[in-house]
Chain A
């Protein structure tokens, strides 16, 4: 209880509350501008949080991302352009509602059920994370090795339409993690005599490059014509929300639960949660023929799914240090910088920090309702902000922010290369999320692999010697080999 009191003190500190308010406004703005994503918001926050205490730093990220995922719905509704990829699943639906004159209901449903989904995900986080942490205390290097490998496998299976391309970016990410002295033998790998490279390739410059610089490049070469804002007066967005809650309780619950689960699975985040949820909503609906014509049901379900995914992604990130999505991949980097290394000991040694994270999530999702309502009110002004002024300013901010982490121009070069590579890869259908996961988890995978090999004296059977390790190992191998086998069997049966 003492820890809880400390946590309350940390969260309701005036400085922290001010950080949350500013982060909210920032998140709402970033989410509402098409082309700026929630992941980009997080990456741009890192240079600033670098100079904060741990709890305000986490508060800034939690609040900004929750707001951004909600406000991504706004341009989807008014411009038919998703503000963040997490809103893309139901952008056409929301726009169709606006055309029917129901923009208020679409925006209101996005706001209210975003908050509901976020709170649901938080509840699951609060209940499951400590239990998992207790379980994880028994883990040795064998279990961690399989867990990381299983997480990486998930990332490929979940995100890529073509697993081969996901595999490629994963391998490239893991190889990037190999650069430098940071390996179990302390041997300088792939440094080519460069002093800068002995420290490895910085994760933060890479993230800023992959998520911010690549988006700026995409904007600069975008040849699509400008979209027009639908001019429609928006009055009370909360009207009828209680009615929707009573009409679609099952949808809200299903969306939130699926979102949390997808979020917790490594590699898949809010955007995939929304797509899956929208598809399920349509499939299970009593009136599937209305989907696509401006029907609110799918927005209720997938709008809650993408926000619950945000909280879900923190479960494996806090307990195992395995990020559930690309936002928590950045968060893990921040946690290490703040000496809050993720893992089960975080729950036993610093419970006040964990309680504070729970409180931050609850608070962020609650203040989303008034602030989001205000954001909808001023959305037309936000959507008028000229992006040809915004993007260059963000680029200069990226440059200076990247430099701020280690005060070396080398990191700016890393950022640029990462941005261009990410842009080219994505243009050619290679998913980026597995690469990020590879970079974040490469060190952990290798450390546990080498430790296990040394412990077992090179005996591979030892990887299946403990019950949990064996289970995780079988699961991982099944995820690798079952899908192709099933495909073959189906083909054989069909032929």
Chain B
């Protein structure tokens, strides 16, 4: 997905201004001229400058480069679905891992990703279960990471 420099520039400009306003409320180190606002303040001035330059360069090229240009994969349903599944799947893990547990969420996510990326359902299901178990074993048993058990807590060992 191509986005015009002008749009990037405008976003950076707004971000820079917002930070600049926000750091005004930061206190100074007592008895000093500098404080925690110095660094982010300076950086946000830089962002504002870069933002303006990007807006100008994007504006100059507006005849040849559209504001946004859809990438080829966005017109292909399969690839769009893959993108949504990858991003949405990781987000879903963040929400669901604690209540449901890795051993539930892991295989389901893997199976979904496999099938969407074109693996046949039967091998996909088998590999999903095995791979999730291997990762679970490596981190939970060998490295002793407290991975969530979720609904399987009763069976935890």
* Contact surface of A with B, Cβ cutoff 8 Å: 47-48, 50-51, 164, 167-168, 171-172, 174-175, 178, 183-185, 187, 189-190, 213, 216-217, 220-223, 386, 388-389, 391-393, 395-397, 399-401, 403-404, 407, 409, 412-413, 415-416, 419-420, 424, 427-428, 430, 442, 445-446, 449-450, 453-454, 457-458
> Is residue B91 within 8 Å, beta carbon to beta carbon, of the partner chain?
yes
Contact A395 B90 (CB under 8 A): yes
Q: Is the pair B26, A449 in contact by a Cβ cutoff of 8 Å?
A: no
Q: How near does chain B come to A314, taking the closest CB pair, in angstroms?
A: 26
Minimum Cβ distance to chain A for residue B113 (Å): 4
Does the CB pair B86–A396 fall under 8 Å?
no
Tell me how far the C-beta of B97 lies from the nearest C-beta in chain A, rounded to whole angstroms. 6
Q: Are A164 and B119 in contact (CB under 8 A)?
A: no
A-chain residues with CB within 8 Å of residue B2 when the two chains form the complex: 427-428
The 3 lowest CB-CB distance pairs between A and B, nearest first, are A392-B113, A388-B117, A220-B82
Which listed residue, A400, A409, A449, touches B145 by the CB 8 Å rule? A400
Q: Are B146 and A407 in contact (CB under 8 A)?
A: yes
Judge whether B94 is part of the interface by a CB distance below 8 angstroms: yes
* Chain B contacts to A: CB under 8 angstroms: 1-3, 8, 12, 19, 22-23, 26-27, 29, 32-36, 38-40, 43-44, 46-47, 50, 53-54, 57, 71-73, 76, 79-80, 82-83, 85-87, 89-91, 93-94, 97-98, 102, 106, 109-110, 113-114, 117-119, 127, 131-132, 135-136, 139, 143-147
Interface contact A171-B90, CB-CB below 8 Å: no
Find out whether the CB atom of B94 lies under 8 angstroms from the CB atom of A453. Answer: no
**A449-B39, A458-B34 known, 5 other contacts, Cβ within 8 Å:** A171-B46, A187-B27, A187-B36, A388-B114, A388-B119
Contact of B117 among A391, A430, A450 (CB under 8 A): A391
Q: Is the interface of A mostly helix, strand, loop or mixed?
A: helix
- By DSSP majority rule, is chain B's interface helix, strand, loop, or mixed? helix
Chain A to chain B contacts (Cβ below 8 Å), 22 pairs: A164-B54, A168-B50, A175-B40, A178-B43, A183-B36, A185-B29, A190-B40, A220-B82, A220-B83, A220-B86, A388-B117, A388-B119, A392-B109, A395-B86, A396-B109, A399-B90, A401-B139, A404-B145, A412-B90, A420-B87, A450-B34, A453-B38
Q: In the complex, A220→B80 CA distance in Å?
A: 9
Residues of B within 8 A of A220 (CB): 79, 82-83, 85-86, 117
CB distance A167 to B118 under 8 Å?
A: no
> B29 — which chain A residues lie within 8 A by C-beta?
184-185, 450, 454
Q: Are B132 and A217 in contact (CB under 8 A)?
A: no
B103 to chain A minimum Cβ distance, whole angstroms, is 11
B47 touches which of A48, A168, A409, A450 (Cβ 8 Å): A168
Contact across chains for B1 and A453 when beta carbons are under 8 A apart: no
Instruction: Say whether A178 contacts B113, CB under 8 Å.
Output: no
Q: How far is the CA of A396 from the CA of B137 in the complex (A)?
A: 13
Cross-interface CB contact of B43 among A164, A171, A404, A407, cutoff 8 Å: A171
B147 touches A400 (CB 8 A): yes
Contact of B79 with A412 in the complex, beta carbons under 8 Å = no
Report if A168-B54 is in contact (Cβ < 8 Å); known contacts: A185-B29, A213-B90, A412-B90.
yes
A48 to B34 Cα, complex, angstroms: 41
Q: Residue among B22, B26, B82 with the most chain A CB within 10 A?
A: B82
- Are B47 and A171 interface neighbours, CB within 8 A? yes
Enumerate chain A residues within 8 angstroms of B22, measured Cβ to Cβ.
190
B102 pairs with A400, CB closer than 8 A: yes
> A95 CA to B86 CA in the complex, in Å?
33
**Are the C-beta atoms of B38 and A389 separated by less than 8 Å?**
no
Q: Which residue of B lies closest to A189 (CB)?
A: B36
In the assembled complex, the CB of A36 is this many whole angstroms from the nearest CB of chain B, namely: 15
Give the residues in chain A near B119, CB-CB below 8 Å. Answer: 386, 388-389
Q: How far is the CB of A185 from chain B (nearest CB, A)?
A: 4
Most B CB atoms within 10 A — which of A399, A420, A449? A399
- The interface residues of chain A lying within 8 Å CB-to-CB of B38 are 446, 449-450, 453
- Complex CA gap A178/B33 in Å reads 19
Interchain nearest-CB distance for A141 vs B (Å): 13
Partner of A221, one of B71, B89, B110, B147: B71
One of A51, A178, A222, A409 near B39 (C-beta < 8 A): A178
Q: Which residues of B contact A178 (CB under 8 A)?
A: 39-40, 43
Which residue of chain B lies nearest to A402 when distances are taken between CB atoms in the complex?
A: B90
Q: Quick one: closest A residue to B16, CB to CB?
A: A171
